Structure formats: C-alpha cells, structure tokens
Amino acid sequence: MEVDKNFNSELFNAFSNKLAWYTSTQIPLLQSNYVNMHSLVENILKTLINKGALAADPYKNDKKISKVTPIDCGSYIESDRAQIIGARLSDYEMMLDFICNYFNFSITTLSTDQIKALLQFNEGFTWSSIATTSKSQNTRGLAEALNTIRRGSDSFATDLANNSLHTADKTMSQINAILNDLASFQREVYKMNIRKDVLEHPTFEESDYESKEKMEAKIRQVYKQTGNKAPYDIELVKEVIEETIGENKEEYRKKLFEKFEVQTKEKKAKKENKVNPHDILMETLLILSTVSGQALVAEEKLQSNSINFEMSKLSKFQKFLLEIRRALGLKDKPCSYKISITDQNTQIKRSEIINFQEFIMNLDRKAKACAALGKQETTLYKKIISKSDEEILDFIMKQINEFSKILQIISGLDDFFKTQTPRTERAKIQGISMEITAIKNSLYKTNQKKSDYISIVEEERQMARLGISDDDVF
C-alpha cells in the first residue's frame, strides 16, 4: 500500500494545481465570455427591433428567471415570425443577463447537471451558422430577420449586426469548449472525492484492495456512510479501481496525470508550434477590433440618455420649439457635462467638463476605425499591416491608451445621467454597465496579447544575444 499512498499524494497535488488553474483562469474566462455574449445578443436584438425586423416582447417585464433553462425552440406560423423570434431572442438575452449577474461561477456550482443545462440553453440559437436553411427553427427565423435589414439601405445597422454575429460565433465556441472541458474535469472531481472521502475512510482496510469486486463492494458501502448526496456512479468508481489495483494501472495513472498537466502541455505545444511574433500582432489587432461593436452601442445609448436628460430640463413650450427645430433639420445646441472621472492607477477622482457632441463624434470615429481592423479588405487594415512590427505595436498601444481614456469618460457620463436626471425621468435612462464591462474585457485581452508579443520578442532577443536556439531549450 506504500506505492498507492505515494500515488495518492502525487495525484492530490496534481489535482490541486489543475483545480487552481480552472479557478483562476478558465472559470473567469467563461464568465467574461458570457458577459460579452450578453452584450452581443443585446446589440442584435435591439438593432432588429429598431429596424422593425423583430417585435419587442410585450411580456418581458413580467417574466421571472430563477434557474438556467433552455428557451423555446418549437415550430411557429411564419406570419408570426417577428413576434415569436423577437420574444425568443429576448428570452435568450434575459437568460444571459441572469447568468452574468446572478449565476455563481465556481467549480462547486458548475456541476455536471448545471453544465448540461448551460449547454442546452446555449443551443437556443446556432451562432456558428445563422442561415435560412438551418434545421433550428430559432436560427432560421433569426437569419430571415437579419436578411430583412441587410436588404435595406442602413449599412451601419448591417455592419453592426454582422460584426456582432461574427463575434458571437467565436465567443459561444469558446464558452462551449470551456464547458465541455469542465464537464470532463467534473468527472475527475467526483473520482477525487471517492479517493478522499472513501478510500481514506478509517473503515477502509488493506484487505479491501484484494480484488476489484471486493473493492467496489467496500466503496459502495462506505459511500453510503459518508452521506454524499451525489448519485453513486459505478462507471467512475470502476475507473478509480482500475487506477488503483487494475492490471494496467500504470497506464491509467499516466493518462490521469496527463489530464492534470498545466505547464508541461504548454511547453510541448510551444516546441511543436513555434509562435510567429507577427501573427500574435495580427491576433491583437483582431481582438482590438471587437471593441467597436460595444463602443457603438454605448454611443447610441449615451446619445439617447443625453436627449432624455436635456428634455427633462425643458418646459412643454421649449420641447415644442425643439421639435420644430428638429423637423426643420436644425442641429441641437451643443451641450457640455461636468462629470467625475476616476484615475485607474491612483483611484483619485477628478472633475472634467466634456463637450458631449465633440466626444460622441470622436467615439464614433474611433469605433468605426476600430471595426476596420477586423476586416482584411479595408484600406486601414492594409495600411497598418504594411508597416513594421514595431510601428504596429506602437499603433496598438496608442489605441489601448485612447480607448482606456474614452472608457473613463463613458463611465463618468453613465454615472452623470443616472444621478443627475430627475427621478421621474430616470426610467428612460439606459444603463451602459454591460458595454463598459465588455469593452474593458476586450481591452484587457488586447493588452494581454500585446504583452505576449513583447515577451516573445524579448525572449528571442535574449536567446540571440546568448547564442541559444530553441533546440537547446527544449
């Protein structure tokens, strides 16, 4: 039994490292992706409703969500498509909002059943293939609604929807990949609990390891005594037995340790696929381009909030005059807002007066230019990739800094409209917290990828100076 004790000790340590990796890396990434997905679906839904391709759900505010469940995917009468798909996409958006704000993301709560529920919900729309030929009723209906605005003349709405769809496909693929990986890991969590709660139970004796049948009978008996609420899974118990006393236990153990590897696999992958620093820069540009969709939605909401705020200060007669000005095509008078901005490094707050129209024009220009970074056919993209890697890096760093400052102003304006608008009119103010979070996540990922590029380039320089090659390292 000494060998088994050493094996358990090493296994517990490897498991702890893997668990820590999921907790610190994968689960936060899963949550971040769900936040991004919510913003993307919200963008698509709002665009389709505004363009009349879908109808808003009149019963949305009456619906309550208490757990993750799939949305309706049944058939419908074609004449009711705008209402039915509008309501289903709204349900999908509401469930994403519930997942983002009320679901506790942890290894404990992400049980096998909960992962299954999330995966089933995710299938409500097939984001990888939004087509009118889809077998999914919801996906086909959404595709037909999208085609309605694509046939129109509003290129901005079309681009926004297309960009959101493209990002939603990649985001949902990442979500499903993490969930499936977590589902596999939860099997190992169950087996680890068997080892800790059952095999190390005081009543478990050395004689209980004499045969597979005897060991399984003892595990079943002790499992009941531990009061574990999870169902007894004979398949996973047999895996534990094979790993412990099976004829091929060494092979099973080797595979088990490979599942729990974190660093080793990354090193092997690095050796097999040497990363090209230039490719990382191109990936960084693509990630940066995802800021565009959220920034444009934030811009639209800020403009709406500004209009509602300004209208709340006017008398009925002044509102009447304003409507006449707009009917004549006259521009609204410029306005400025004194907002509070928090420095992200020092957390010190300062007041700043923002020329609203000027800020919105700059935000719109930056967001649309950013969108071009994700399209290889655009002039801006071609212009950037023709430059040296150092110039591209400088461009990326400049964009990160500028969008970080823009984000501070957006947050300040969001707080301003929420607090300074009269209470009777605050229901008209649209929150921008989801867009702010999504932009922060995109900038964070862009900054991470930029740091990866700098690290690899610096590593190559150091190795070149020392006369060391990759083969020497690996």
pLDDT reading at 262 higher than 80: no
Confidence band, pLDDT 50/70/90 cuts, at residue 332? low
276-290: pLDDT as tens digits: 888 888 888 888 888
Q: What are phi and psi of 169, to 5 degrees?
A: -60, -50
What pLDDT sits at residue 126?
93
Give the mean pLDDT of 414-439: 88
Give the mean pLDDT of 57-83: 91
What pLDDT sits at residue 286?
86
The pTM of this model reads: 0.59
Q: 104-108, 259-263, 356-360: which has the minimum mean pLDDT?
A: 259-263
1-30: pLDDT as tens digits: 444 667 777 888 888 888 888 888 889 889
Average pLDDT, the chain: 85
pLDDT reading at 355 higher than 70: yes
What pLDDT sits at residue 338?
93
Return the higher-pLDDT residue of 330 and 145. 145
97-124: pLDDT as tens digits: 999 888 888 888 899 999 999 999 999 9
Give the mean pLDDT of 331-348: 77
